[in-house]
């Protein structure tokens, strides 16, 4: 697991470390690493370091101090460094002095644009973890001249450090070098951060506020049959999805469950013939009442939100087994919360809303803080809530939260959610902790999406087809 900490916790840890560290040492540690990354980016993009031009955008806090010190280190490698000070009177004193001593140039805000246009690399030291809100107009105006690669110091300025929200002008970086620990922005705003590198400056932190699954966690969690296993012992998942008119959701959710584990998959609903035709290994019946025993249910995709859908949901919630309620099932729960009375309180429930379904469930949209929103929904429904979006957030009623950072946006395609619910259901049937099941499913789903896409649009069927490759890739890293 990768730990992620809020800026409040990080600042407290920094204060403890600062108290026992010689003045300025932490910043120099951070800045030295930053300079190494800057040189690496110069070499990558231009083929050389010496003689190249770097322009620093320097704000009034320590983030600007990091940039100034990094500039001084880059001078040692004969890089031409210019610094644009957004608030000259409040620029970091020792950093500015170091840059000047090293032969770096300070340029005025008015001359800034031409230096930015000539730069081989732009370093964003405008603001760091103490800032909130979008960039101010002077900084935003400078950004319009940037065409070179951008290296963000600690985080891309203008993006909220604790939520990753962007609600105005903000830096879009190619690489972000962060210090001490990952902050929420790094997991929740991948498009703004670019590649993220974490530099150890000696911070000591306890329990993280948010987590991200490593490939190794997913590999360790994913069920693998042993010599004594049979089709029943690995977990039987039931899929109640689709309709005669819309059988696609049933085919996708059942197919994902087939591909996820080697346990048995049952299907119950009006698309039984179509499902059987696509997946001969699925035992399909017309109704949940005669589906037979399962260890978990996936319910919702394409079942409709009318009386029949409600009764299907009520039935599966009353079976005493974990349930993944997706799509129409979340809408039914929002409109008729009494269906939850059928649920045995001790049986796990996973809700998988997108933003619109979340709004129905909670009465308001997720807002900027998607982690807090998912946590609130998890508490309200005493369920694991997987909030879909570019980054998927999974929260448990006990407060645990994880985020899945995708590679690209190829998953935003019709039917993609049906595939995800099938994966979650298969893992629930295998007996995984529901929070981990949802997180591992999201991880493999996004990996399958990027493998299927490989740089071009894909489809839900493509994602489904790439599940075995995704699982092989996850497992190969640990075997």
Instruction: Note whether 317 binds K ion by CB under 5 A.
Output: no
Instruction: Note whether 136 binds ligand NAX by CB under 6 A.
Output: yes
Instruction: Note whether 157 binds K ion by CB under 5 A.
Output: yes
Instruction: Out of 4, 121, 127, 419, name the contact with ligand NAX by CB under 6 A.
Output: 127
* CA–CA distance, 95 with 35 (Å, rounded to integer): 13
Shortest separation between residue 368's beta carbon and K ion, angstroms:
19
Judged on CB neighbours under 10 Å (0-12, 13-18, 19+), 454 is exposed
**Helix ranges (DSSP H) in 288-354:** 307-317, 328-335
Instruction: Out of 79, 131, 173, 240, name the contact with ligand NAX by CB under 6 A.
Output: 131
* CA–CA distance, 213 with 440 (Å, rounded to integer): 7
Shortest separation between residue 179's beta carbon and ligand NAX, angstroms:
5
Residue 407 binding partner per list K ion, ligand NAX, none, with a CB distance cut-off of 5 to 8 Å that depends on partner kind:
none
Binding track, positions 31-60, relative to ligand NAX; x by CB under 6 A: ----------------------------xx
State yes or no: 125 annotated in a binding site: no
Residue indicated by tokens 């129409």: 328
- Report in angstroms the alpha-carbon separations of 195 from 198, 339, 442: 10, 45, 20
Which one of the spans 102-110, 132-140, 214-222, 417-425 is the region binding ligand NAX (CB under 6 A)? Answer: 132-140
Of residues 402 through 441, those in contact with ligand NAX by CB under 6 A are none
What sign does the CA torsion over 305, 307, 312, 318 have?
positive
Instruction: Note whether 62 binds K ion by CB under 5 A.
Output: no
Helix (H) or strand (E) holding 126: none
Nearest alpha carbon to residue 355 among 332, 383, 377: 377
Judge whether 55 and 82 are in contact, CB under 8 Å.
Answer: yes
Shortest separation between residue 441's beta carbon and ligand NAX, angstroms:
34
Residues in contact with ligand NAX, total (CB under 6 A)? 24
Which one of the spans 23-31, 248-256, 265-273, 430-438 is the region binding ligand NAX (CB under 6 A)? Answer: 23-31
Shortest separation between residue 132's beta carbon and ligand NAX, angstroms:
6
* CA–CA distance, 65 with 92 (Å, rounded to integer): 5
Instruction: Out of 2, 4, 5, 27, name the contact with ligand NAX by CB under 6 A.
Output: 27
- Report in angstroms the alpha-carbon separations of 251 from 142, 281, 388, 444, 460: 51, 12, 21, 19, 11
Question: Interior CA angle at 220 toward 216 and 223, to 5°?
Answer: 140
Binding track, positions 307-336, relative to ligand NAX; x by CB under 6 A: ------------------------------
Instruction: Out of 98, 135, 153, 256, name the contact with K ion by CB under 5 A.
Output: 153
Judged on CB neighbours under 10 Å (0-12, 13-18, 19+), 380 is middle
Q: Could you say which DSSP state residue 80 is in? A: E
Residue 59 binding partner per list ligand NAX, K ion, none, with a CB distance cut-off of 5 to 8 Å that depends on partner kind:
ligand NAX
Instruction: Note whether 185 binds K ion by CB under 5 A.
Output: no
Shortest separation between residue 241's beta carbon and K ion, angstroms:
45
Per-residue tokens: 330: 């979340």
Binding track, positions 253-292, relative to ligand NAX; x by CB under 6 A: ----------------------------------------
Instruction: Note whether 133 binds ligand NAX by CB under 6 A.
Output: yes
State yes or no: 66 annotated in a binding site: yes
Nearer to K ion, 127 or 362 (CB): 127
Judge whether 313 and 288 are in contact, CB under 8 Å.
Answer: no
Cβ partners under 8 Å of residue 204, min gap 6? 13, 16, 17
Instruction: Out of 84, 116, 153, 265, name the contact with ligand NAX by CB under 6 A.
Output: 153
Residue nearest to ligand NAX (CB): 128
* CA–CA distance, 263 with 283 (Å, rounded to integer): 12
Shortest separation between residue 215's beta carbon and ligand NAX, angstroms:
28
Residue 124 binding partner per list K ion, ligand NAX, none, with a CB distance cut-off of 5 to 8 Å that depends on partner kind:
K ion
* CA–CA distance, 420 with 418 (Å, rounded to integer): 5
- Binding residues for ligand NAX, per CB under 6 A? 14, 18, 26-27, 30, 59-63, 66, 127-133, 135-136, 153-154, 179, 201
């Amino acid at each position: 697991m990768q730990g992620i900490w809020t800026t409040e916790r990080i600042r407290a840890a920094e204060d403890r470390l600062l108290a026992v560290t010689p003045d300025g040492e932490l910043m120099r540690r951070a800045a030295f690493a930053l300079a190494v990354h800057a040189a690496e980016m110069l070499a990558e993009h231009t083929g050389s370091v010496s003689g190249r031009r770097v322009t620093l955008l320097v704000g009034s806090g320590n983030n600007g101090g990091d940039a100034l010190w990094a500039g001084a280190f880059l001078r040692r490698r004969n890089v031409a460094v210019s610094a644009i000070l957004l608030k000259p009177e409040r620029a970091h004193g020792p950093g500015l002095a170091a840059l000047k001593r090293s032969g770096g140039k300070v340029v005025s805000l008015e001359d800034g644009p031409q230096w930015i246009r000539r730069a081989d690399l732009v370093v964003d030291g405008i603001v760091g973890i103490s800032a909130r809100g979008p960039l101010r107009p002077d900084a935003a105006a400078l950004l319009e001249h940037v065409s070179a690669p951008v290296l963000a110091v600690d985080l891309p300025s203008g993006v909220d450090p604790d939520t990753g929200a962007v609600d105005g002008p903000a830096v879009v970086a190619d690489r972000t070098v962060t210090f001490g620990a990952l902050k929420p922005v790094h997991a929740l705003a991948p498009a703004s951060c670019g590649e993220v590198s974490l530099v150890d400056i000696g911070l000591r932190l306890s329990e993280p506020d948010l987590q991200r699954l490593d490939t190794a966690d997913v590999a360790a969690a994913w069920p693998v049959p042993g010599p004594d296993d049979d089709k029943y012992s690995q977990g039987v998942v039931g899929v109640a999805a689709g309709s005669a008119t819309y059988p696609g959701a049933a085919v996708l959710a059942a197919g994902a469950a087939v591909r996820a584990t080697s346990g048995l998959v049952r299907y119950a609903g009006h698309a039984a013939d179509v499902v059987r035709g696509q997946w001969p290994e699925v035992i399909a019946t017309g109704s949940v009442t005669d589906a037979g025993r399962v260890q978990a249910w996936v319910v919702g995709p394409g079942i409709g939100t009318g009386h029949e859908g409600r009764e299907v949901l009520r039935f599966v919630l009353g079976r005493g087994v974990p349930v993944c309620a997706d799509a129409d099932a979340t809408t039914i729960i929002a409109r008729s919360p009494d269906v939850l009375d059928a649920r045995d309180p001790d049986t796990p429930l996973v809700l998988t809303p997108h933003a619109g379904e979340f709004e129905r469930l909670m009465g308001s949209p997720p807002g900027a803080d998607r982690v807090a929103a998912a946590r609130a929904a998890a508490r309200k429904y005493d369920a694991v809530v997987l909030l879909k979006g570019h980054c998927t957030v999974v929260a448990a009623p006990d407060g645990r939260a994880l985020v899945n950072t995708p590679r690209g946006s190829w998953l935003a395609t019709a039917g993609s959610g049906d595939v995800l619910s099938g994966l979650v259901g298969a893992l629930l049937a295998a007996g995984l902790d529901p929070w981990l099941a949802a997180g591992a499913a999201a991880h493999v789903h996004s990996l399958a999406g990027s493998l299927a896409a490989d740089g071009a649009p894909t489809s839900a069927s493509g994602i489904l087809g790439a599940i075995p490759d995704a699982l092989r890739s996850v497992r190969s890293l640990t075997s």
